[in-house]
Structure 1
Amino acid sequence: MAIIRNPSAAGRFYPRFKGELLDTIHENFVNSSFGLSHDLNLTTDNNGGDRKVLGGVSPHAGYMYSGSATAHTIQEVFGQKVPDTVIILGTQHTGYYEIGIMKEGAWKTPFGTLDIDTDLAIQLLKESKVVKEDDSAFNGFPHGREHNIEVQIPFIQYAATKAQKSVKILPIKIGKMNQNVLETLGKDIASVLDSNNNKDIAIIASSDMTHYQPQNPRNPKEEILQIQHKRDEAVMEAFEQFNWQKTLEKATDTSVCGPQCIATLMIIGKEMGYTTAKKLQYYTSYEKIGGTGPSDYSVGYFSGIISR
């Protein structure tokens, strides 16, 4: 029997009830300060033409903090063409150090279920020696409580519903940081994508940016602007240079929590002939809650895309 991966982040990172979740995602899109100032906009023919945006970086915090940055990525990934399948490159917070995928089953959220693209999973398992089938990477204790892939899924469902199209997913948890392994993984995924000429596939890389604890939490604004912003700017500058090695290096110099996901997305893009890496949005949780007053913790949120 195929596994249904039940939500573990509903009620914590995003609302557990469908109506409230729908309203929350909509609010993140239309937010005029951090979002798009409008709802998700799909082209009239949202299945036409070649894919111009391979994929993007999307954060994975609570929606009240990071959701507006995710909205920018979803708009670009889905706006011109709604994919058949979304590969979600996930990091780990629970001590998983392999590269694992779920080969079959579905992921459930308050919006319902999204099926896993089993055919694509089988192709990748045949192609790659660094990827393994591992349901335990996503289900049960301790890895079933991991949120970073799950929080991407309601946004994908939101877009798929607007497009009135069935979309599948392929979750890949990347627990390795070695450059050679990541390069192999990226090339393997690119090879599988190149062989799927009749299937449109996009990629989301799940990562938050620098996690910063101000030394002066009563008056943290200058620290956040001068230290946290500059650390993240170094990563985003390397991203826009489309230099995956430099991006990985700069990200691992600070507390970015999905540098391997960002780097793998960039490697895939390079291998497939994509030419541009572009920043869409960046802000911190401190700025999202007002940007004034005390704060003992601030996290950066970045939206960026790989395109032709």
Structure 2
Amino acid sequence: MTHSTPQIRPAAVAGMFYPGSSSALARDLQQMLSHTPPASGLRPKAIIAPHAGYVYSGPVAASVYAPLADLRESIRRVILLGPTHRVAVDGLALPSSRAFATPLGVVQLDQEAMASIEPLPQVIVSDAAHALEHSLEVQLPFLQTVLSGFTLLPLAVGRASAAEVAEVLECLWGGDETLIVISSDLSHYLPYALARETDSNTARHIVALDAHLDHQQACGATPVNGLLLAARRHGLRAQLLDLRNSGDTAGDRSRVVGYGAFSFSAEPEHAH
């Protein structure tokens, strides 16, 4: 009997990064999503959200996910990119599974779109890159809560250039039915005051669509830079929705991790 890839990638960090029970998870998500500022009124095409344990970064992520509830019927496909933490890969890795599971249910993968980018030289297939990766998984319960039904195209981003990431995003850009989600935290393990200063500076670069971040500024610098290149090409405007760190949410202040929430929207046609 040959050992085949499971059709469904099971949740790897449920019960660690977020509650393992569907009822506790749904309750926590509703609580976080209800404590967010009102939406700007602009339609997000892309977002950047953090990926730590919900107790640390969940409230920051909620600030960028809550406004998507207004688009719950129109967003039908999510392109999700995050950095690899466990397995080193060259390029951007697709899984071979057909769905991803969380305690809230199963999300089908967009097989057709995945097949469309496989010929690109920077795109590989690696189940190992996805098996234990939390940067993508922690975004899914938020998406399952704010959207009604969507397919997913998950990419675990390893060693790649910003231009290679932007090329993949270009192929998958789509219209209003497609949302791009980039998973990234900001600075890691700096003292509180220095982290605030560092992350404020990083946020200014992101809002300016300056695609030259390094991995000290953001662990997901590679997919973030790729999005910033594509956003510039498509005339999107970036907005900072929340900027905090683990010292603000649930950790001590001697060594903190920074979290930012950003939304990217097309300029309104007739803005005055």
Question: TM-score if structure 1 supplies the norm length?
Answer: 0.77
Select the residue among 242, 245, 258 that pairs with 2:220. 258
Query: Quick one: distance in 2 between partners of 1:157 and 1:295?
Result: 32
Which whole-Å deviations, capped at 9, do the CAs of 1:48-104 have from their partners, x for residues lacking one? Answer: xxx932111100111111111111221344534641111111101113222111255
Select the residue among 57, 61, 64 that pairs with 2:48. 57
2:201 is matched by which residue type in structure 1? Answer: A
Tell me, what secondary structure is at the counterpart of 1:66? helix
Tell me, what secondary structure is at the counterpart of 1:233? helix
Tell me, what secondary structure is at the counterpart of 2:25? helix
State the match for 2:209 in structure 1: 242
Tell me, what secondary structure is at the counterpart of 2:17? coil
Q: Does the 8 Å contact 1:115/1:169 carry over to 2? A: yes
Query: Quick one: distance in 2 between partners of 1:69 and 1:264?
Result: 22
> What is the root-mean-square deviation in Å for CA atoms of aligned residues?
2.3
Select the residue among 68, 85, 88 that pairs with 2:59. 68
Q: Does the 8 Å contact 1:100/1:172 carry over to 2? A: yes
Unaligned runs of 5+ in 2: 267-272
State the match for 1:146 in structure 2: 133
Tell me, what secondary structure is at the counterpart of 1:149? helix
Query: Quick one: distance in 2 between partners of 1:166 and 1:110?
Result: 16
1:176 is matched by which residue type in structure 2? Answer: R
Structure 1 runs, 4 residues or longer, greater than 6 Å off: none
Matched, 1:185 2:165: yes
Query: Quick one: distance in 1 between partners of 2:85 and 2:217?
Result: 12
How far apart are residue 231 of structure 1 and its match?
0.8
Query: Quick one: distance in 1 between partners of 2:6 and 2:79?
Result: 19
State the match for 1:217 in structure 2: none
Q: Does the 8 Å contact 2:164/2:226 carry over to 1? A: no
Which whole-Å deviations, capped at 9, do the CAs of 1:137-177 have from their partners, x for residues lacking one? Answer: 21xxxxx22211000000011112xxxx3211110011015
Q: Does the 8 Å contact 2:129/2:156 carry over to 1? A: yes
Unaligned runs of 5+ in 1: 44-50, 139-143, 215-223
Q: Does the 8 Å contact 2:162/2:211 carry over to 1? A: no
Which whole-Å deviations, capped at 9, do the CAs of 1:9-32 have from their partners, x for residues lacking one? Answer: 10000000011001111111223x
Query: Quick one: distance in 2 between partners of 1:9 and 1:295?
Result: 25
Q: Kindly report which structure 2 residues correspond to 1:192-231, keeping only aligned pairs within 5 A, or say none.
A: 192-193=172-173, 196=174, 200-214=177-191, 224-225=192-193, 227-231=194-198
Which whole-Å deviations, capped at 9, do the CAs of 1:164-199 have from their partners, x for residues lacking one? Answer: x3211110011015xxx3213312321332xx45x7
Compare CA radii of gyration and give the structure with the larger one.
1
Tell me, what secondary structure is at the counterpart of 1:113? strand
How far apart are residue 295 of structure 1 and its match?
3.9
Q: Does the 8 Å contact 1:8/1:145 carry over to 2? A: yes
Query: Quick one: distance in 1 between partners of 2:164 and 2:259?
Result: 27
Tell me, what secondary structure is at the counterpart of 1:244? coil
Looking at secondary structure, tell me which structure has more strand per residue.
2
Tell me, what secondary structure is at the counterpart of 2:135? coil
Q: Does the 8 Å contact 1:87/1:171 carry over to 2? A: yes
Which whole-Å deviations, capped at 9, do the CAs of 1:235-262 have from their partners, x for residues lacking one? Answer: 11011111213xx1xx43x252111121
Q: Kindly report which structure 2 residues correspond to 1:125-136, keeping only aligned pairs within 5 A, or say none.
A: 125-126=118-119, 128-136=120-128
Matched, 1:166 2:149: yes
State the match for 1:175 in structure 2: 158
**In percent, how many aligned pairs have the same letter?**
24
How far apart are residue 208 of structure 1 and its match?
0.8
How far apart are residue 268 of structure 1 and its match?
2.4
Q: Does the 8 Å contact 2:170/2:230 carry over to 1? A: yes
Query: Quick one: distance in 2 between partners of 1:152 and 1:8?
Result: 13
Matched, 1:300 2:261: no
Q: Does the 8 Å contact 1:90/1:261 carry over to 2? A: yes
Query: Quick one: distance in 1 between partners of 2:96 and 2:169?
Result: 15
State the match for 1:233 in structure 2: 200
Q: Does the 8 Å contact 1:86/1:201 carry over to 2? A: yes
Question: TM-score if structure 2 supplies the norm length?
Answer: 0.87
Query: Quick one: distance in 2 between partners of 1:132 and 1:257?
Result: 21
